[in-house]
């Protein structure tokens, strides 16, 4: 008989079933009962003390594997971006990437759509899928050749894989580090107009509509981009999109003192675009909330803004910043876990992210009221380059389970 475990006296938060009181019964690595459950005699039980019990986070689109940071943030599954060294464009490399996280992490590789992410020759998608890839992607780059992008979408669609894209027209953004506007002008930074994003989105949406493929735009950050996605969804295009907390909490003003921790890709946008992101979260246009976890140490960040690396350490702050949307009543808590778990799992084609019977027992116990302050020097990530340094937040993960097994939380 498989080991059984009951998590009791919890506030259950499920993206599908909503919020209720009760518990979860786990047998082996699977949820076998949920709600007001009968607990078999003699099995191990854990009293959650009324805290939130929810699906563990599926972080779609991380650039680095960072186990302590993921566990601290309630993340047990990640979609790993193809921008690795070497690039995830070969079945051996993909298979190795899928295995390196065990036993503490499920890694779902996003294989490169083109060889070397060069945007010219298609990678061996079918073989990479068989090696463990759960999607294909363009990485942090844009495929300029529309003919190649159409082939990527058509081929991936035939294989049942979503295509995960970076939405910036490279011809417009080449050599730039910021969004054109007053802040970039005052700082003297090379900048590109925000229209670079909707230009890329419009092209990719038209190709996705023509091929019937599933398209996931990893980050949409502009009002014009959200409008295009909304319209495409109304037409029945198979499109989803995501965003990071930085792009709905910060505008380009956050770069004003040349803070390289605010050097991101895509770059921070105007305040009107930030407000449009909050509207898109509230109305369901945005499907996925991701960390974009990309830690960089001082050797890459303590440089002039234009020379510094883009990216932020986001895994540990993702959940707490998402809970801020719940506190502000922008979204409900069950919608938050749809953004963090159920929807990214669906993009990757993985049957997880809910508290449904038969789902993997990947779970977190969360104290949504626990206060703490973001301190980059005390994060468990490989580097603490967060633009939220010093920000007071609420919400702390107190237990993490992967396949029914408790994972150690970093001290």
- 354, part of any domain: no
Interacting residues of 295 by C-beta distance below 8 A, sequence separation 6+: 64, 66, 69, 311, 312, 313, 381, 382, 383, 384, 385
Quick one: 29 and 148 in the same domain? no
Quick one: 143 and 284 in the same domain? yes
Distance CA 261, CA 264 (A): 8
Quick one: 269 and 179 in the same domain? yes
Q: Which pairing describes strands 44-47 and 239-243: parallel, antiparallel, or unpaired?
A: unpaired
- 355, part of any domain: no
Residue 411's pLDDT is 81
Quick one: 182 and 320 in the same domain? yes
Tokens coding 296: 């960089």
Total of domains in the chain: 2
Q: Which domain holds residue 230?
A: 56-348
Distance CA 401, CA 261 (A): 31
Three-state DSSP state, 62: strand
Residue 1's pLDDT is 60
- 353, part of any domain: no
Quick one: 240 and 146 in the same domain? yes
Element (H, E) at 136: strand 135-137
- 79, part of any domain: yes
- 24, part of any domain: yes
Examine the fold and report which residue of 317, 348, 379 is the final residue of a domain before the chain moves on: 348
Element (H, E) at 11: strand 4-14
Quick one: 395 and 313 in the same domain? no
Q: Which residues pair with 44 in a beta bridge?
A: 5
Alpha helices in 25-145 (DSSP H): 67-72, 91-99, 125-130
Residue 2's pLDDT is 82
Nearest to 244 by CA among 210, 280, 220, 216: 220
Examine the fold and report which residue of 348, 374, 392 is the final residue of a domain before the chain moves on: 348
Concatenating the DSSP letter of every residue in 230-253 gives HHHHHTT--EEEEE-HHHHH--GG
Quick one: 101 and 245 in the same domain? yes
Quick one: 336 and 371 in the same domain? no
Q: Could you state, in chain order, the average pLDDT of each consecutive group of 10 residues for the chain (411 residues)?
A: 92 97 97 95 96 98 97 98 97 97 95 98 98 98 97 98 98 97 97 98 98 98 98 98 98 94 97 98 98 96 96 98 98 98 98 97 98 96 96 98 96 81
Nearest to 232 by CA among 224, 194, 277: 224
Distance CA 255, CA 268 (A): 8
Tokens coding 216: 């996931």
> Any idea what the CATH number is for the domain that residue 46 is in?
2.30.40.10
- 335, part of any domain: yes
**Cis peptide bond prior to 103, omega within 30° of 0:** yes
Chain-centroid distance of CA 235 in Å reads 25
Examine the fold and report which residue of 300, 319, 348 is the final residue of a domain before the chain moves on: 348
Q: pTM of the entire structure?
A: 0.97
Nearest to 218 by CA among 138, 124, 283, 333: 138
CA 162, 164, 170, 175: dihedral to nearest 10 degrees? Answer: -160
Quick one: 152 and 34 in the same domain? no
Q: Given phi > 0 = left and psi -120 to 50 = alpha, else beta, which region is 311?
A: left
Quick one: 228 and 338 in the same domain? yes
Three-state DSSP state, 189: coil
> Any idea what the CATH number is for the domain that residue 62 is in?
3.20.20.140
Distance CA 271, CA 290 (A): 20
Residue 47's pLDDT is 97
- 356, part of any domain: no
Quick one: 257 and 108 in the same domain? yes
Quick one: 38 and 64 in the same domain? no
């Amino acid at each position: 008989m498989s080991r059984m475990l009951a998590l009791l006296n919890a506030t259950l938060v499920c993206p599908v079933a909503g919020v209720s009181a009760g518990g979860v019964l786990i047998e082996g690595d699977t949820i076998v009962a949920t709600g007001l459950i009968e607990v078999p005699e003699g099995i191990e039980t854990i009293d959650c003390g009324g805290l939130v019990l929810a699906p563990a986070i599926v972080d779609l689109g991380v650039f680095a594997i960072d186990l302590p940071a993921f566990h601290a943030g309630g993340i047990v599954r990640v979609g790993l971006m193809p921008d690795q060294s070497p690039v995830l464009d070969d079945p051996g490399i993909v298979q190795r990437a899928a295995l390196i996280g065990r036993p503490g992490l499920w890694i779902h590789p996003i294989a490169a759509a083109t060889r070397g992410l060069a945007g010219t020759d298609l990678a061996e998608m079918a073989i990479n899928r068989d090696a463990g890839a759960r999607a294909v992607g363009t990485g942090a780059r844009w495929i300029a050749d529309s003919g190649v992008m159409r082939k990527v979408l058509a081929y991936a669609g035939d294989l049942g894989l979503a295509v995960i894209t970076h939405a910036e027209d490279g011809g417009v953004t080449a050599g730039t580090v910021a969004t054109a506007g007053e802040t970039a002008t005052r700082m003297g930074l090379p900048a590109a107009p925000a229209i670079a994003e909707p230009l890329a989105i419009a092209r990719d949406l038209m190709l996705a509509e023509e091929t019937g493929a599933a398209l996931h735009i990893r980050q949409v950050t502009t009002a014009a981009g959200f409008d295009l996605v909304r319209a495409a969804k109304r037409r029945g295009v198979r499109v989803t999109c995501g965003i990071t907390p930085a792009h709905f909490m910060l505008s380009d003003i956050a770069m004003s003192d040349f803070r390289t921790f605010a050097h991101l890709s895509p770059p921070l946008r105007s305040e009107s675009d930030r407000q449009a992101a909050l509207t898109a979260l509230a109305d369901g246009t945005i499907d996925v909330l991701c960390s974009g976890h990309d830690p960089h140490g001082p050797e890459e960040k303590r440089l002039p803004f234009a020379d510094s690396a883009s990216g932020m350490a986001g895994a540990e702050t993702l959940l707490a910043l998402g809970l801020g949307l719940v506190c502000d009543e922008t979204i409900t808590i069950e919608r938050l876990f749809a953004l963090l778990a159920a929807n990214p799992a669906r993009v990757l084609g993985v049957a997880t992210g809910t508290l449904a019977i038969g789902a993997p027992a990947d779970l977190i116990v969360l104290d949504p009221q626990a206060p703490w302050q973001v301190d980059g020097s005390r994060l468990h990530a490989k580097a603490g380059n967060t633009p939220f340094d010093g920000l007071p937040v609420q919400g702390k993960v107190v237990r993490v389970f992967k396949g029914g097994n408790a994972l150690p939380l970093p001290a």
